[in-house]
């Protein structure tokens, strides 16, 4: 009833190719951005900002990166945690050794993750499918090992643990949860917009052609080398930036364990549950991933049950595994598909067809 | 020279164990096209079941006969793995027929989370021990040939023999029994197999049960060596390079791959490790298989991947 495109005529190509061709969508997104930039930092408590919103945004950013590689270009990667680690440690080293400004540190983290990503992307030119998925684990284990055993990367810190000093960007402090949240949000908004445009453009179409069938794509003149390596590069850049943010903003001080295989699997879950090949799906998946553990920890508490901590963590594991399987069975295309079905229905509501 | 031989023998023996885990992967992948990430969790839950059940039964029998207790526990643990296979087929695989490989992979990761959780709730999460009477003392062989001889751990040797026997039994099972033939038929072509009347669902249960039994044996061998604890579930991660090196669809590949990775890991750790700070076993296996794959993208014995437009 309210969600109609009647009367919205497109008279130029430009207006036909907008990200959000429907006016109601544009209003909705503007309202959402307004809420995110103004409402949340004013309204949410520090706990909510720190435990939910900041991890949600950073994971969503990393998931966008992984989605470009897995969802758009079809190259399964179980090693994304490694690229987060590269981003985090590279950024930290640039901060410690060269004293670059904060934003430059984080971007340099992304650049180094890109380089690593391209190196580990080279095998994808020969190896495909599940074989490739397993070889990406090489990146994961190699990086885990490198940051643990090569003392140069942690600036010879004796415990292997590194931490960041007080953060400030162009003289503005990034200390309180609200400031941190806004800082992260800026990154997410800009990179989200850029990647949405990338996947809509020529390069995005090349990625999708490679995903659907790389031989056929090569036949019609898409260079697999170029398409696959750019996907690895862009994806690793975003994941690297997310890793730097995760380390700097969310953790503050960290060790290589923060970016182990579980992190990679978590990102993979996010994009599968959210929806492969969908930017908005990355946000849904990240929200799911952040909220479910919070709920699982709190539900027994609200119900007044008294469960020992270790049993609770096992139950959390179980429920989590169950939910993943359940979601895969109910909607293999992820939450993004549910979202688009809902939108379709809303368009013709109250009629069934 | 003696030392080199010792390292190689040690590598071959641990390679046999990798081959065992890899076999679990290959079996399931061949028969159902599922890349079973839950194999490690199955090893853990099987070992936990075995360790706790043997303890409980032993206490119930009053410690009269540890052998009987172990046997009973083995049978019960095997039944338990069968139950898991049935449930996985009924509740998960049946609903995910014809989904993409990625989705199935994610589903098995979900299963592995579930099994990790439920295993530790049912059987507890401390470190347990399995004692099936594996010999612990190392022996020295060939001391007439080399100075000081070659040190061989009898425990590893027993494990390697068990693994070799199991591999032989499975090869026999696949080659000469009716069920084995049905399994191979399903592996070749699902639709064709189904059209000649092979029940796919039952075959999947059989395959997952066999993989469960393999996991049980692996769990017992590794569990009695390192103790039964959560880290057992990472066993699967050690075996993944073996699987892709040998080829996802090849049983001999799993064995040869296991031996190559086993020896490669040990040699690299001994001769390369000291220069770069040690602990390189885990990623060296992956890099080794990656290099192999660059030359043969389908693994050593995997089916050749043919692209058609």
Residue A319 touches chain B, beta carbons under 8 Å: yes
Average pLDDT of chain A is 88
Give the best-scoring range by mean pLDDT among A18-22, A63-67, A329-333, B52-56.
A63-67
pTM passes above 0.90: no
**pLDDT value of position B134:** 67
Residue A220 touches chain B, beta carbons under 8 Å: no
| Rg, chain B, Cα only | 20
Task: Quick: pLDDT tens for B192-241.
Answer: 888 998 888 888 888 889 889 988 988 888 888 777 777 777 777 888 88
Which class is domain A46-348? Answer: mainly alpha
**CB-closest option in B110, B286, B298 to A135:** B286
Minimal CA separation from B236 to chain A, in Å: 12
Residue A261 touches chain B, beta carbons under 8 Å: yes
Look up the domain containing B17 and give its range.
Answer: 2-295
Q: At what angle do helices B2-32 and B39-60 cross, to 10 degrees?
A: 100
- B124 burial level (CB within 10 Å; 0-12, 13-18, 19+): middle
Please name the residue of chain A whose CA is at the shortest distance from the CA of residue B126.
Answer: A310
Regarding predicted confidence, which is higher, A104 or A7? A104
Report CA-CA distances (Å) from A230 to A38, A95, A117, B142: 35, 27, 10, 56
Regarding predicted confidence, which is higher, A39 or B149? A39
Q: Which residues of B28-38 are buried (b: 16+ CB within 10 A; e: fewer)?
A: bbbbbbbbbbb
Percent of chain A predicted with pLDDT > 90: 39
Round to whole Å and give the CA distance between A216 and A297.
48
| Rg, chain A, Cα only | 21
CB contact under 8 A, A318 and B113: yes
Domain total of chain B:
1
Round to whole Å and give the CA distance between B172 and B253.
16
Domain membership flag for residue B307: no
SS3 per residue for B18-62: HHHHHHHHHHHHHHHCCCCCCHHHHHHHHHHHHHHHHHHHHHHCC
Residue A4 touches chain B, beta carbons under 8 Å: no
Regarding predicted confidence, which is higher, A151 or B42? B42
**Residue B195 is part of a domain; what is its CATH number?**
1.10.3470
Minimal CA separation from A321 to chain B, in Å: 4
Query: With contacts defined as CB-CB under 8 Å, which chain A residues touch B91?
Result: 325
**pLDDT value of position B65:** 76
Domain membership flag for residue B57: yes
Which ranges of chain B have pLDDT less than 50? none
CB contact under 8 A, B106 and A328: yes
Element (H, E) at A207: helix A202-212
CB contact under 8 A, A130 and B109: no
Domain ranges across chain A: 46-348
CB contact under 8 A, A123 and B283: no
**pLDDT value of position B158:** 82
Round to whole Å and give the CA distance between B236 and B23.
11
Regarding predicted confidence, which is higher, A117 or B29? A117
Task: Quick: pLDDT tens for A283-298.
Answer: 999 998 898 888 877 7
**pLDDT value of position A195:** 94
Query: With contacts defined as CB-CB under 8 Å, which chain A residues touch B305?
Result: 128
């Amino acid at each position: 009833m309210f969600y109609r495109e009647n009367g919205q005529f497109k008279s130029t190509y430009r207006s036909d190719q907008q990200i959000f061709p429907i006016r109601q969508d544009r209003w909705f997104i503007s309202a959402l951005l307004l809420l995110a930039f103004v409402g949340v930092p004013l309204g949410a408590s520090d706990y909510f900002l720190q435990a939910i919103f900041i991890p949600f945004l950073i994971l969503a950013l990393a998931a966008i990166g992984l989605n470009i590689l897995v969802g758009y270009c079809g190259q399964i990667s179980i090693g994304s945690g490694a690229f987060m680690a590269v981003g985090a440690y590279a950024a930290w080293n640039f901060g410690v050794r060269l004293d670059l400004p904060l934003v430059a540190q984080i971007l340099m983290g992304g650049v180094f993750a890109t380089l690593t990503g391209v190196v580990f992307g080279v095998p994808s030119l020969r190896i495909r499918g599940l074989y490739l998925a397993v070889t990406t684990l090489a990146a994961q284990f190699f990086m885990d090992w490198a940051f643990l055993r090569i003392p140069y990367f942690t600036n010879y810190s004796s415990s292997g643990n590194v931490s960041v000093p007080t953060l400030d960007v162009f003289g503005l402090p990034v200390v309180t949860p609200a400031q941190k949240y806004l800082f992260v949000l800026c990154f997410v908004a800009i990179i989200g917009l850029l990647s949405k445009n990338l996947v809509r453009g020529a390069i995005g179409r090349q990625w999708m052609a490679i995903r659907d069938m790389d031989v056929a794509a090569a036949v019609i003149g898409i260079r697999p080398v170029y398409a696959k390596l750019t996907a690895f590069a862009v994806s690793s850049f975003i994941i690297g930036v997310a890793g730097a943010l995760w380390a700097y903003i969310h953790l503050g001080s960290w060790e290589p364990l923060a970016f182990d295989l579980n992190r990679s699997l978590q990102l993979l879950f996010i994009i599968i549950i959210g929806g492969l090949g969908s930017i908005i799906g990355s946000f849904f998946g990240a929200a799911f991933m952040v909220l479910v553990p919070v709920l699982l920890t709190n539900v027994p508490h609200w119900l007044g049950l008294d469960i020992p901590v270790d049993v609770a963590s096992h139950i959390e594991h179980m429920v989590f595994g169950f939910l993943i399987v359940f979601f895969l069975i109910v909607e293999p295309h992820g939450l993004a598909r549910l979202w688009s079905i809902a939108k379709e229905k809303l368009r013709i509501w109250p009629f069934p067809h | 020279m003696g030392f080199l031989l010792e390292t190689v023998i040690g590598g071959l023996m641990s390679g046999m164990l990798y081959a065992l885990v890899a076999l679990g992967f290959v079996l399931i992948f061949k028969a159902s096209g599922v890349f079973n990430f839950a194999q490690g969790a199955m090893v853990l839950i099987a070992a936990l079941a075995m360790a706790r059940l043997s303890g409980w039964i032993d206490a119930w029998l009053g410690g009269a006969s540890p052998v009987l207790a172990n046997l009973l526990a083995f049978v019960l643990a095997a039944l338990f793995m069968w139950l898991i296979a049935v449930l996985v087929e009924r509740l998960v695989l049946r609903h995910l027929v014809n989904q993409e490989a990625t989705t199935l992979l994610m589903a098995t990761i979900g299963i592995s989370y579930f099994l990790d959780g439920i295993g530790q709730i049912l059987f507890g999460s401390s470190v347990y021990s399995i004692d099936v009477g594996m010999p612990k003392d190392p022996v020295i062989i060939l001391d007439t040939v080399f100075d000081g001889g070659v040190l061989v751990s009898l425990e590893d040797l027993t494990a390697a023999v068990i693994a070799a026997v199991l591999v032989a039994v499975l090869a026999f099972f696949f080659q000469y029994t009716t069920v084995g033939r049905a399994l191979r038929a399903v592996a070749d072509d699902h639709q064709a197999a189904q059209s000649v009347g092979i029940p796919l669902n039952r075959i999947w249960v059989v395959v997952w049960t066999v993989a469960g039994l393999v996991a049980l044996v692996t769990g017992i061998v590794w569990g009695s060596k390192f103790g039964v604890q959560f880290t057992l579930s990472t066993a699967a991660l050690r075996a993944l390079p073996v699987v892709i090196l040998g080829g996802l669809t090849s049983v001999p590949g799993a064995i040869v791959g296991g031996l190559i990775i086993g020896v490669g890991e040990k040699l690299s750790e001994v001769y390369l490790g000291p220069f770069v700070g040690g602990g390189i076993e885990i990623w060296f296996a992956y890099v080794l298989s990656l290099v192999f794959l660059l030359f043969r993208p389908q693994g050593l014995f995997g089916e050749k991947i043919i692209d058609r437009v």
